[in-house]
Copies of this chain bind each other. A is one copy, B any other.
Amino acid sequence: MEFKNVANVKFVEGGVCAAKGFRANGIQCGLAHAGASVTKKKNDLALIVADTECTAAAVYTTNKVKGAPILVTKEHLKNGKARAVIVNSVNANTCNADGVEKANMMCELAAKELGISPEDVIVASTGVIGQVLPIEPIANGMKELAEGLTYDGNARALEAIMTTDTRKKEIAVEFEMGGKTCTMGGMLKGSGMIHPNMATTLTFITTDAAISEELVQLALSDVVKITLNRASVDGDTSTNDMVCVMASGSAGNKLVVNEDEDFGKFRNALYAIMMNLARMMARDGEGATKLIECSVSGADSDKTAETVAKSVICSSLFKAAMFGEDANWGRILCAVGYADADFDINKVDVKIGSEKGVIDVCKNGAGVDFSEEKAKEILSEEVIEIIISIGAGPGSAIAWGCDLTYDYVKINGDYRS
């Protein structure tokens, strides 16, 4: 699956290390939880460090159950500044009495090794909920982790944040701002427990652009709404979701402090990163074999369009039909119909498409004749488009989801062991 183009940005290599002055590393410190199969040898602890202090912003899960790292990171980002990210997989450090203490210890351990303040460390965890996080492996591994930091360590860090992910999800772009070339890169972890409700995954984004605390937060809060918050794998909003951005200013552009043209360029680059990460996340949904991109237009507002698009990509029946490559458009219309939004169902048109073409399957709320053979051919592709028009209004939205497969059930039938 290729990146989707966005105007005025150029895709480059390097993920979270693409921007100037960011080092990263990942190691296997040995957090494997009780009963876990040890056949899976993978990194479980990552560190990202900026050479200079960054302005930083984050968006967090809206789940009432919040992982302890979320609480600690919120505190640390109150001043809009950060230097490093410490993150582990395997154990979510959530619903444990000593969670906050452990999350603070992670920051302190990292800070000590890096010679920075613990308040400048962003901490995140992902994995099983409700098992006490053993701090010893992290303490013991910190020196090796810090010593191994390199300006091309993004792949090692990325491996460390993956859980049931099967694909590596990282991206970087170059863009021009104020006459300077800036770079922005990001990596994302996320495969299950993903549902649109503020940032729905762990995502770390780094950039060498110079931008104020207020505006990096504004851009992030804005872009998350139309990217990660429009992707769903299984309707479950995780307790540990977080997306954060660190902007170092090393690119030398004039500091962005207003919602001006440069801000627009920054926001556009962030959109290119996060939209593509959202697509990659949906494509790598647990057990998924297909990315479903549902676009809705003609709505009275973007909000209405979003509600309808999400309703479709969240429908279990529709998702199972996509796995079966079955053009059961009745299920699409059914999901459009139960969306909690106001529109005339008799004006709804539905097309299905992919690289193999696009066909009409429903017009004015009723079925139209189409070639089942052509539909099969279209649905045999990896990226499927569902194109819905619900009227003549100006509102539109795109949402991303995936198919529902045997493997989703297999992966989640016994995740803890």
Q: List the interface of chain A (C-beta within 8 A of B).
A: 35, 62-66, 92, 94-97, 128-131, 192-193, 195, 197, 234-239, 314-318, 320-321, 323-326, 328-331, 333-339, 343, 345, 362, 365-367, 372, 404-406, 408-417
Task: Please indicate the chain B residues that have their CB under 8 angstroms from the CB of A412 in the complex.
Answer: 316-317, 320-321, 324, 404
Residue of B nearest to A61 (CB): B338
State the Cβ distance, A10 to closest chain B Cβ, in Å.
38
Could you tell me if B365 and A95 are in contact, using CB atoms closer than 8 angstroms?
A: yes
State the Cβ distance, A94 to closest chain B Cβ, in Å.
7
Could you tell me if B129 and A238 are in contact, using CB atoms closer than 8 angstroms?
A: no
Q: Which of A323, A328, A362, A372 has the most CB of B within 10 A?
A: A328
State the Cβ distance, A169 to closest chain B Cβ, in Å.
20
Could you tell me if A238 and B96 are in contact, using CB atoms closer than 8 angstroms?
A: no
Task: Please indicate the chain B residues that have their CB under 8 angstroms from the CB of A96 in the complex.
Answer: 366-367
State the Cβ distance, A202 to closest chain B Cβ, in Å.
15
Q: Which of B63, B321, B323, B325 makes the CB contact (< 8 A) with A334?
A: B63
A158–B148 alpha-carbon span in the complex (Å): 68
Could you tell me if A334 and B65 are in contact, using CB atoms closer than 8 angstroms?
A: yes
- Give 10 nearest A-B pairs by CB, closest first: A129-B330, A324-B413, A65-B337, A320-B412, A130-B367, A324-B414, A64-B337, A130-B330, A237-B338, A234-B316
Residue of B nearest to A316 (CB): B234
Task: Please indicate the chain B residues that have their CB under 8 angstroms from the CB of A333 in the complex.
Answer: 65, 95, 129-130, 239
Q: Which of B64, B234, B404, B415 makes the CB contact (< 8 A) with A328?
A: B415
Could you tell me if A417 and B236 are in contact, using CB atoms closer than 8 angstroms?
A: no
Q: Which of A63, A64, A416 has the most CB of B within 10 A?
A: A64
State the Cβ distance, A277 to closest chain B Cβ, in Å.
21
Q: Which of B92, B197, B326 makes the CB contact (< 8 A) with A330?
A: B92
State the Cβ distance, A312 to closest chain B Cβ, in Å.
11
A35–B372 alpha-carbon span in the complex (Å): 11
26 contacts between A and B (CB under 8 A): A35-B372, A63-B337, A65-B345, A94-B330, A95-B333, A95-B366, A96-B367, A97-B366, A128-B328, A130-B366, A130-B367, A192-B317, A236-B318, A237-B334, A239-B330, A239-B333, A316-B408, A317-B415, A321-B413, A321-B415, A323-B413, A324-B413, A326-B414, A326-B416, A326-B417, A404-B409
